Structure 1
């Protein structure tokens, strides 16, 4: 079948052969070489959220579409001749494609085992380079409507109406018609095939528009596309889950939660998550009432409970004995809730071989900082290695990690040219020790160092006295004095922040353009610092992968850390290489890094206490 659609004066043709007999292979092959870059899109079965995604039993392709700026072919991989043509086209080393997000790239790998690698350009990444704000709307429909016309939006609306019409009576509530439709709508349905074909056409039409918008920073396009391919490789390879350990830890944590929850229920007659608990706990406190919601009700969250504990420890509040016991139980519930959620997500997202395939979004934040989802591995803290320990290396291999040391502070010094901060960094002493000494003198306390460290990062990121007080537990008046001392110690950092706050666009050293937030101009310095630190990491990753041939060894990027997976006998050599590559400089300021052999697991658990048996006395 052949369909045409005309929008904004442009006529687009969709070829959708329904079987072996009406598939003109010669015409299709002539089409595939008619354009140096083909739009590529797929229609798959509905994938259940929270599972293995493309690597689980829900995955499966129903259609594969190729497009030029005015023509699309929609092929069915269940028809042998069409599947052969799909695979031949995708695997051809001289053919190039453009997609929107790596969903299609992963789907192609899952269905055909074909890696597109550097042969694909992602228009979603181009859009994020043009407008880094996540709220700007970077979906294919949003961009088509913004830059082209409403043809694709109309095709989507027609498809959704068709799905609702075809869905069985029991599948017509909420989003059920769409879920049903992606799995069951006939592959030959006109609304379905037209929508599918136009997806490939519109992504191809978007490509030159977005490339033109990226012209002022075109050098970033190649690097970001390269980095996206590396992150896709990480997703495909996956991370091996230590299932017995993960299941055991979940059982332990679940037991802790249930024990704490039962203690509250038995003592008070209601749950620790009930609104009644917040009112009860508030009645047990003197001197520091719980924060209120907008409606005036006491608020119990992990943060408010932590703040209350700090107030009690510092003498700012008092609590009854029963209140203290219930507070401890409720804090135990809060401490285990996030851990349970993470452990369950690890188990749910693992494929049949026990591998988790996280999605690494390489341009998630407006600064270019990366994020990891499904599961959210960037949220796992180093100081609690239990969750990181769930992931392990292959037999005979180890993980080696390397991260920058206080990179944001070093970048702040380089950008602001603050002489005192640059001198501290050049001396090689601990930055936070030196800052505490400059602020308080040589006899600074451990607490003063902690407050000074928090003030360093808070000031760099535009935080104020209220935020510092919340993070450290000191009174706001003290926090205000600390910040004033910090500002007097490093005045050029403050001057840099005030100057860049007036910039209409933040332009980083790599040429990245970051639009400011009109409501938060003070955040511009944060954008410049964080984005620069991110690009320094990417430069190191590129050198490791391209110069030293370690692309296939990349295991994960987390914040300012690179983790690689290597044979155990190469661990020391790779550790030294990582340190060498990531130890660099930026505008004359040293960027320090130190690698370590993490071992067989990502998180290193503390050694159990040793018990030394006492030998019996000699007779």
Structure 2
């Protein structure tokens, strides 16, 4: 038995590393008694982060309480694996930090089904995010184990992480490959593994007390664990990769990036990633660049370049100026390069042996609880894209169904701020009711045009997302004066929005700059951006509507069909012959009432590829 002792918060703890079957018996006896005392902390060490990639390895499984940890070397096989599986099966309750990752690892590589492990788990990362969702760069504690432990348990908690990184360096490894290559018996590696479960065990009761002190509803904590489980299920299922198409697209994007880089070079830009070169060339072409970065440099970011290229955020022509050819070439070269690396390359790198990709779904990625998807970040794709989405397919014999909330931002705003005229409009009209044309006609009369609709849509979404006059003008192509007038008219006809914003800001100032969502979620505000309270309230409520829709869909027997939650949409793979029935079932699951405002959805049935829902021919 290898034994390591370490000081945690002036208390000596012990990490046990069994080396023989007899010592494994001692571990199992400890696990039996620990399970009777309360929840057991659980963690894994693996070869990396891509759980479903070829060659991925589970290296250790560790169990612990506040004083003892047991590091079981799964990689040794035989008795070690059997002992770990016995404990994983028999322990009644677990504490895991970032449970979705370990659920996936143990489901995929240890044969412990997600369905069995998740109901027995409390996730300290979920608990921490409900106490304070901010990361360290936002002024929060963060939701990673080490900074949380440094704040709540022991200031020296991150030290072993630094020690392990130093070991990687001394052995000639990098942080990326060190976990896969470090010898299984290395003392720092085993100490690091063992301390993580001890820290998790100590962190959990502290976070539970904080949740109680802050009056965070137990129901909300349970709800977030259910959403995590559903998202982990979708991630495990994954989506079929059309490898042949993806390889062809990889070549096409490479060529697109090269051709547009050559066009940019004709204007003196040798590198499309050099902002200085781009700014100088644009100035030489007579463009007036007035915006500056925080460091004082001329700003030539995507928003600036899109305006110069006469395009909106969806890359559609605004028709307000002659497109600048350099700006357009830079944009297209950058986008092709980014899409090749961030999307196409990631698909090819991370596909599993069955040719499926498993995008990582983060159920609580923002202060508002907004979900996100990484590796790759599919929620950042523009709504006009079909090329990248064309890479991903429904199962054999299936088609894609996308079910999307209709105008959910404005419906949520109407409900939360109790906007009388908006609510009346939503209540009296059908699912295809157009709130933006309704608004334009309230202000302009029945002669309101499509241009008016676009202007007042921007004003409305600006209310929800906190967009300023300059940003809205750039996005729409309207003048700043037109935007100001539209916002003023919006405030006149829907005065409840401004009143709600003032009320929410006042309430936040009275509670330490924290606004509380309709479901009880605590969302800290930045003192210099208190106006964002409207965005926080609406985004959080919309996210929880999507979360409830996921639960409704599971109750309706639709869980195995679901693939991704994206923004306000659920993407599903369903049998082709039953697509319409599935579409109606998803619409029903995504139809609810929010404070008297009907929240409705519409399902689209596509072909086999996700891209078919956006114009692709497959």
Structures share a fold, TM > 0.5? Answer: yes
Aligned to 2:45: 43
Is 2:582 aligned against 1:574? yes
> Partner residue of 1:70?
67
Deviations 1:370-409 (A, max 9, x none): 0110110111233222222211111111222211111111
Question: 1:206-217 counterparts in 2 under 5 A?
Answer: 206-215=203-212, 216=215, 217=217
Size of the alignment, in residue pairs? 588
* Secondary structure, counterpart of 2:83 in structure 1: helix
Shift of the 223–487 alpha-carbon distance from structure 1 to 2, 3 Å rule, reads same
Answer whether contact 1:502 1:521 (CA < 8 A) is retained.
no
1:229 is displaced (CA, Å) by 1.0
The alpha-carbon deviation at position 298 of structure 1 amounts to 4.7
Q: CA deviation at 1:258?
A: 2.0
* Other-structure match for 1:492: 496
Q: Measure the CA separation in 2 of the matches of 1:353 and 1:234.
A: 16
Please report how far the alpha carbon of residue 273 of structure 1 lies from its aligned counterpart in structure 2 after TM superposition.
4.5
Query: Could you give the per-residue CA deviations for residues 499-558 of structure 1, whole angstroms, max 9, x where no partner exists?
Result: 11222232222122222221211111211111111111111211110x212222221100
Aligned residue in 2 for 1:143: 148
- Is 1:431 aligned with 2:435? yes
Distance 1:316 1:374, change over 3 A: closer
RMSD of aligned residue pairs (Cα, Å): 2.7
Distance 1:132 1:265 in 2: 44
Q: Is the 8 A contact 2:12 2:67 kept in 1?
A: yes
Is 1:95 aligned to residue 92 of structure 2? yes
Q: Counterparts of 2:101 and 2:249 in 1: how far apart (Å)? A: 32
* Structure 2 SS opposite 1:410: helix
| Structure with the greater alpha carbon radius of gyration | 1
Structure 1 residue matching 2:466: 3-state secondary structure = coil
Q: Which sits farther off after the overlay, 67-76 or 268-277?
A: 268-277
Matches within 5 A, 1:131-530: 131-135=132-136, 136=140, 137-150=142-155, 152-164=157-169, 167-168=170-171, 171=172, 176=173, 178-179=175-176, 181-215=178-212, 216=215, 217-265=217-265, 268=268, 270-274=270-274, 275-285=276-286, 288-289=288-289, 291-293=291-293, 298-310=298-310, 324-341=324-341, 342-428=343-429, 429-504=433-508, 505-530=514-539
Aligned to 1:587: 595
Q: CA deviation at 1:103?
A: 2.5
SS of structure 2 residue aligned to 1:575: helix
Aligned residue in 1 for 2:511: none
TM-score relative to the length of structure 2: 0.88
Q: Residues 127, 285 of structure 1: CA spacing in aligned structure 2 closer, same or farther, 3 A cutoff?
A: same
Contact 2:306–2:327 (CA under 8 A) maintained in structure 1: no
Provide the C-alpha distance between the structure 1 equivalents of 2:490 and 2:109, rounded to a whole number of angstroms. 57
Instruction: Give the C-alpha shift of residue 458 in structure 1.
Output: 0.1
1:290–1:308 contact (8 Å) kept in structure 2: no
Deviations 1:226-246 (A, max 9, x none): 111111111111111112222
Q: For residues 291 and 458 of structure 2, what CA distance do their matches in structure 1 show?
A: 23
Assess if the C-alpha contact under 8 Å between 1:99 and 1:203 holds in 2. Answer: yes
Q: Equivalents in 2 of 1:338, 1:587: separation in Å?
A: 42
- The answer as to whether partners of 2:592 and 2:599 remain within 8 angstroms in 1 is yes
Kindly state the Cα deviation for residue 257 of structure 1 after the two structures are TM-superposed.
Answer: 2.5
* Residue aligned with 1:492, SS: helix
Q: What residue in structure 2 maps to residue 596 of structure 1?
A: 604
Contact 1:501 1:523 in 2 (8 A): no
CA distances 1:42-89 after superposition (whole Å, capped 9, x unpaired): 222245xxxxx1112452122211012222111111142111111122
For the structure 1 residues 564 and 293, does the alpha-carbon distance in structure 2 shift closer, same or farther, using more than 3 Å as the test?
A: closer
Cα shift at 1:569? 2.4
Match of 1:118 in 2: 119
| Secondary structure at 2:45 match in 1 | strand
- Paired with 1:464 and 1:548, the residues of 2 have a C-alpha distance of 42
Which residue is 2:565 aligned to?
557
Q: 1:562 to 1:316 in 2, by over 3 A?
A: closer
Contact 1:349-1:375 at 8 Å conserved across structures: no
Distance (whole Å) between structure 1 residues aligned to residue 104 and residue 425 of structure 2: 47
Instruction: Assess if the C-alpha contact under 8 Å between 2:289 and 2:299 holds in 1.
Output: no
TM-superposed CA distance for 1:299, in Å, is 4.3
Distance 1:157 1:305 in 2: 41
CA drift at 1:113: 2.5
Alpha-carbon distance in 2 for matches of 1:456, 1:232: 35
Instruction: Give unpaired runs (5+ residues) of structure 2.
Output: 509-513
